[in-house]
Amino acid sequence: MDFRLTEDQRALADGTRGLMARLYPAERLREDAAGAAAGTPVTLDRGMWRALGEAGFFALRLPEERGGLGLGLPEAVLVFEEAGRALLPGPLVTTHLAAGWVPGAAEGGTVVTAVDGELTEWLEASDRVLGSYDKAEPVRSVDPLTPLHRVVGGEPAGGVVGGGVTAGGVLEGGVTAGGVTAGELLTCAQQTGSAARTLELAVRHATTREQFGRPIGSFQAVKHLCADMLVRAEMARTAVRAAAVSGDLGETAAARLLADEAAVRNARDCLQVFGGMGFTWEAEVHLHIKRSWILRSRGRSVAECEERLAESLLDETLCGI
Amino acid sequence: MDLTYTGAELVYREELRAWLARTLPALPPAPDPADWPARRAYDTGWQRRLHEAGYADVHWNADPTRRLIFLEETELAGAPYVGANFVGLLHAGPTIAAEGTAGQRERWLPPVLRGDEVWCQGFSEPGAGSDLASLRTRAVRDGDSYVVTGSKIWTSHAEVADWCELLVRTDPDAPRHRGISWLAMPMDLPGVTVRPLRTLAGTTEFAEVFLDEVRVPVANRVGAENDGWRVTMVTLSFERGTAFAGEVVACRRTLRELARMARGTGAWDDPVLRRRMGRLAAEFGVLWRLVQWNVSAGAPGVGGSVLKLRYSQARQELYDTAAEVLGPSGALDADRPWTSDRLSSLSYTIAAGTSQIQRNIVAERILGLPKGA
Ligand SMILES: Cc1cc2nc3c(=O)[nH]c(=O)nc-3n(C[C@H](O)[C@H](O)[C@H](O)COP(=O)(O)OP(=O)(O)OC[C@H]3O[C@@H](n4cnc5c(N)ncnc54)[C@H](O)[C@@H]3O)c2cc1C
C-alpha cells in the first residue's frame, strides 16, 4: 500500500497546473467575469477547448490505441482538481465522458453537455446535447461564467446523471469496471481544487492585509478560519483520491459530501477573510462560491448521498473497512 | 496511489488474524474500570502475550503499513487496547529509543516491550497546560542527583506506573524552551505523592503528582541538560499520524452496531437520524483513508493535525448520535457502555493538545501565518 502519488502522477498534476496557468490564468478569469458584468455574452473559447483536447484533457482515459492517454480515474481526478482550482469554464466533465464515443469530443473539436435535472449547463455553446428535452429557456445564471438553461420535459440520456454516468449507463467512457459514477467524482475533484484555491487566497490575503498595525493573519479568529479550511480541503482531497482508486460507490458518496462541503464552506470563509473586498465583483472569491453552488447541484443531492451511506451501514456483507 | 496490500502484507495479516483467533478466547475477562491494579495486570498481561508472539515492538520497528494492519486487525478482533502501556509504548519508549544512550535503551526498553514496567507522562502542571514550556517543576543538581520539587497534574494512570517521563526546569534563567530537561523518574522514590483525580466519567484516569525534594539520578536524564524541549518534541510528533488508527476502526464498528440497533427500535425510520449516521459513515471512512495517507506519507505532517482535529470532533458526534439512538432511558443510564464512551469522548478535544492549539499549529506551522501576540 502506498497512497502517495507516483512520480508520473505528480508530473501529470504539475503539468496540468502549468497548462491551466497558460490557458486560463487568474487574470483571464477576472477579465471574463468583468466582461460578463458588462453584458458581454458568455461564449466558450473554442481555441482553448482544442488546446485542452490536444493536451489530452478529454482523451485522458481512452486507451492508447484509440488515441487516448490510457490513464485511469485516479489520474483524471488529479487533472480535474487543477481545472477546479483555476475555475476553468465549460462542460468539462460531460465532454470528457463523451470522449471516444461522441465524434470530436476527445480532440476538443466537439463540445458536449448533458441534460441533468431541470437546469442544463452550456446548452447554446454545445455541439451535442446528451439526453433530450422539449423546450429550453435561458436562465440568468448565478455563476456569470456558467450559462444555464431551464429545460422542460428533460430526459437524461439513459443513465447520464450529475454530469456523469450511473452504473449501467450507456456512455462507455463514463463507467469504470466497478460501475462508479466517474462524472460525479470528477465534479468532486473540481470542488476539491476550488477549496484548495480559496484556502490559498485566504492565507495570502491574511498574510499581507494589515489592520491594528499587524497582518490580520496574526489574529486567532482569522487563523482558525484558515486552519479549518485546510482541514476541509485535506479531507476532501483524501476522500476524492481514495474513491477514485478504490472505485467504491460508498466512498464516492462520501467524497461527494466532503468535497461539496469543502468547496462551499471554504469559499465562504475566504470571503470572510477578505472582508469588504471579498464582497466585490473584482475579487475571485465570489466566482468560487457561485461555481461551488453550481457543481453541488449536479446529480445526487446531499440527502441521497447520506441515505446511500446510511444504507451501507446495514449491509452485512461489508465488514471491516 | 495504490491502496492494495502486497502478498507479504496479506500473509502478515492472515497470520495475525489466526493468532488473534487463538489467543483472545484465552484472555481473562476485562477488569472493572475503577480497579487500576487489575487494569494494569490485564494490560501488561496482554503486552506479555504480544511479546511472546513477536508483536511487541510493532509500534517501533514494524514498517508503517504492517503497524496499520496490526492496529486494524487487533481492533476488528476486539483485542485489548494499549491501556496502561500507552506512555511506555507510544511516548517514553520512542523517546528513549531516539535520544537515549545504549545503556539507557537497554535498561528501559525491554521491560516496556515485555509488559514488565509501566510508564506515565509528567508534563502538564497546574500552571502549564497548553503553554507547556512555562513549566516550573525545578530540578537542582546535587552531586549525582537532581533534587526535584514541584507538581504535575492530569498524569494518566500515575497510580500504577513504575516510571514517569518527567519534564523539569534545570535552568530557570535560560529562555523558556532552553532550560528544560527530560528525566526518567522511578515512581517509588521518597518524596513522590500521587493523588488520584476523579474524571467526569467517574473513574480515576489521571492524578496529581506532588514532588518534594525527590532525588533522581543524573544518569536518568535522556538527552543533554537543558535540551529536554527538543527531546520532548521527538515524542510528541512520534505517532500523531496514526494515533487514532485503531479507534477509527472501532468507531466504524460502533456506527454499524448503532444502525442495527436503530433499525430494531424503529429510530431508523427517522430520516434526520439516518442522514446524520450516513454523514458519520462518510466522515469515519475518510478518516481511515487519511490514516492510510499519513502512513504512506511517512513523517507526521499536515495529516497528523488534520486527523487530530477532525477525529476528536467526529468521535464526539458519534456518541451524541448514539445517545439519540438509545433514547433518554439508555442515554441517561451511566451503566450503558455507550454512555461512558460518550463521557470519555469529551476529553478528545482537550488531551494531547486542545483543538484550539491544534488550529494554531496548523495556521502557523503549516500555513505559515504570522505568530500572534
Ligand atoms: C484525559 C486526559 C488525560 C491527560 N493525560 C495527561 C498525561 O498523562 N500527562 C500530561 O502531562 N498531561 C495530560 N493531560 C493534560 C493535557 O495535555 C492538557 O489538559 C492540555 O494540554 C490542555 O492544558 P490545560 O488543561 O491546562 O488547559 P489550558 O491550557 O488552561 O486551556 C484552557 C482553554 O484555553 C484554550 N487556550 C489555551 N491557550 C490558548 C491559545 N494560545 N490559543 C487559543 N486558545 C488557548 C485551550 O484551547 C482551552 O480551551 C491529560 C488531559 C486529559 C483531558
Q: How many angstroms is it from B64 CA to the middle of ligand 1? A: 29
> Could you give the CA distance from residue A227 to residue A221 in angstroms, rounded to a whole number?
10
Q: Whose CA is nearest to atom 24 of ligand 1?
A: B129
Rounded to the nearest angstrom, the minimum Cα separation between B348 and chain A is 17
Contact A230 B362 (CB under 8 A): yes
> How open is the CA angle A132-A177-A72, to the nearest 5 degrees?
90
Q: What is the ipTM of this complex?
A: 0.94
What does the pLDDT look like over B123-169, one tens digit per residue?
Answer: 999 999 999 999 999 999 999 999 999 999 999 999 999 999 999 99
What does the pLDDT look like over A44-65, one tens digit per residue?
Answer: 999 999 999 999 999 999 999 9
Contact A321 B271 (CB under 8 A): no
Residues of B in contact with A251 (CB under 8 A): 285, 289
Residues of A in contact with B269 (CB under 8 A): none
Contact B295 A3 (CB under 8 A): yes
Give the pairing type, strands A112-114 and A128-130: parallel
Q: Whose CA is nearest to atom 16 of ligand 1?
A: B351
pLDDT for B302 equals 74
pLDDT greater than 70 at residue A166: no
What does the pLDDT look like over A14-33, one tens digit per residue?
Answer: 999 999 999 999 999 999 99
**Which residue, A176, A223, A192, is CA-closest to A291?**
A192
pLDDT for B297 equals 85
A-chain residue closest to B362, CA distance:
A227
pLDDT for B251 equals 96
Among B282, B306, B359, beta carbon nearest to A224: B359
Q: Mutate which of B90, B154, B315 to test ligand 1's pocket (most atoms within 8 Å of Cβ)?
A: B154
Give the pairing type, strands B138-142 and B145-156: antiparallel
Q: How many beta carbons lie within 10 A of that of residue B96, not counting itself? A: 25
Cβ neighbors of A287 (< 8 A, separation 6 or more) are A29, A33, A87, A143, A144, A145
HEC profile of B110-136 = HHHHHCCCCEEEECCECCECCCHHHCC
What does the pLDDT look like over A298-310, one tens digit per residue?
Answer: 988 999 999 999 9
Among A220, A228, A239, beta carbon nearest to B289: A239
pLDDT greater than 50 at residue A226: yes
HEC profile of A8-70 = HHHHHHHHHHHHHHHHCCHHHHHHHHHHHHCCCCCCCCHHHHHHHHHCCCCCCCCCHHHCCCC
What does the pLDDT look like over A89-98, one tens digit per residue?
Answer: 999 999 999 9
Sketch out chain B's domains with CATH numbers. 7-114 (1.10.540), 119-226 (2.40.110.10), 244-366 (1.20.140.10)
User: E-assigned strands of chain A?
Assistant: 112-114, 119-121, 128-130, 135-139, 148-152, 160-161, 164-165, 210-211, 214-215
What cell was used for B306? 488534520
> Could you give the CA distance from residue A58 to residue A68 in angstroms, rounded to a whole number?
8
Size of interface A-B (CB pairs under 8 A): 175
pLDDT for B18 equals 98
Cα dist from B18 to B11, B13, B26, whole Å:
11, 9, 14
The DSSP letter of residue B6 is: P
Residues of A in contact with B76 (CB under 8 A): 319-320
Q: Whose CA is nearest to atom 32 of ligand 1?
A: B130
Rounded to the nearest angstrom, the minimum Cα separation between A77 and chain B is 12
- Pick the atom of ligand 1 nearest to B123's CA: 11
Segment (H or E) for B22: helix B7-23
Residues of A in contact with B252 (CB under 8 A): 321
Residue whose C-alpha cell reads 458584468 in the numeric block: A37
Cα dist from B174 to A234, B33, B133, B225, B371, whole Å:
39, 43, 12, 12, 22
Contact B279 A234 (CB under 8 A): no
Contact A234 B259 (CB under 8 A): no
- Pick the atom of ligand 1 nearest to B120's CA: 8
Contact A310 B277 (CB under 8 A): yes
Residue A314: pLDDT band with limits 50, 70, 90 = very high
Q: Whose CA is nearest to atom 51 of ligand 1?
A: B351
Spell out, as residue ranges, where chain B has pLDDT lower than 50: none
CB A219 within 8 A of CB A112: no
pLDDT for B83 equals 93
Q: Is B365 on the interface with A (CB under 8 A)?
A: no
CA dihedral over B303, B305, B306, B308, signed as positive or negative: positive
Give the pairing type, strands B221-222 and B206-217: unpaired
What's the one-letter identity of residue A230?
Answer: L
Residue A138, SS3?
Answer: strand
Contact B297 A3 (CB under 8 A): yes
pLDDT for A174 equals 42
Considering just the CA atoms, what is the radius of gyration of chain B in Å?
A: 21
Residue A173: pLDDT band with limits 50, 70, 90 = very low
Residue whose C-alpha cell reads 460501475 in the numeric block: A179
Residues with CB under 6 A from ligand 1: A 220; B 121-124, 129-130, 154-156, 205-206, 347, 350-354, 356-357, 360
Q: How many beta carbons lie within 10 A of that of residue A8, not counting itself? A: 10
Sketch out chain A's domains with CATH numbers. 7-171 (1.10.540.10), 182-320 (1.20.140.10)
Q: Whose CA is nearest to atom 48 of ligand 1?
A: B354
pLDDT for B242 equals 74
Q: Is position B239 annotated as part of the catalytic site? A: yes
Mean predicted confidence (pLDDT) in A126-155: 95
Rounded to the nearest angstrom, the minimum Cα separation between B176 and chain A is 22
Whole-model pTM: value is 0.94
Identify the residue with better confidence: A136 or B298: A136
B73, B125, B165, B239: which is the annotated catalytic residue? B239
How far from each other are the two terminal CA atoms of chain A, in whole angstroms?
14
pLDDT for B239 equals 58
What region does A173 belong to: left with phi over 0, alpha with psi -120 to 50, or beta?
alpha
Contact B286 A242 (CB under 8 A): yes
> Could you give the CA distance from residue A113 to residue A96 in angstroms, rounded to a whole number?
10
Among B263, B289, B358, beta carbon nearest to A314: B263
> Could you give the CA distance from residue A213 to residue A7 in angstroms, rounded to a whole number?
44
Rounded to the nearest angstrom, the minimum Cα separation between B160 and chain A is 34
The DSSP letter of residue B227 is: B
Residues of A in contact with B322 (CB under 8 A): none
What region does B93 belong to: left with phi over 0, alpha with psi -120 to 50, or beta?
alpha
Q: Mutate which of B123, B130, B344 to test ligand 1's pocket (most atoms within 8 Å of Cβ)?
A: B130
Residues of B in contact with A244 (CB under 8 A): 1
What cell was used for B79? 483485542
Contact B275 A307 (CB under 8 A): yes
If you count DSSP H runs as helices and E runs as strands, how many of each does chain A have, helices first? 10, 9
What cell was used for A83? 481545472
CB A269 within 8 A of CB A261: no
**Which residue, A200, A190, A164, is CA-closest to A259?**
A190
pLDDT for B300 equals 62
**Which residue, B255, B306, B293, B243, is CA-closest to B82?**
B243
Cβ neighbors of A136 (< 8 A, separation 6 or more) are A120, A123, A149, A150, A151, A152
Residues of A in contact with B68 (CB under 8 A): 1
Q: How many angstroms is it from B344 CA to the middle of ligand 1? A: 15
Mean predicted confidence (pLDDT) in A293-298: 95
Rounded to the nearest angstrom, the minimum Cα separation between A183 and chain B is 19
Contact A257 B282 (CB under 8 A): yes
Rounded to the nearest angstrom, the minimum Cα separation between B13 and chain A is 13
Q: Mutate which of B89, B124, B203 to test ligand 1's pocket (most atoms within 8 Å of Cβ)?
A: B124
Across chain A, mean pLDDT equals 91
Residue whose C-alpha cell reads 507522562 in the numeric block: B121
Segment (H or E) for B64: helix B64-76
Q: Is B317 on the interface with A (CB under 8 A)?
A: no
> Could you give the CA distance from residue B108 to residue B105 in angstroms, rounded to a whole number?
5
> Could you give the CA distance from residue B173 to residue B340 in angstroms, rounded to a whole number?
45
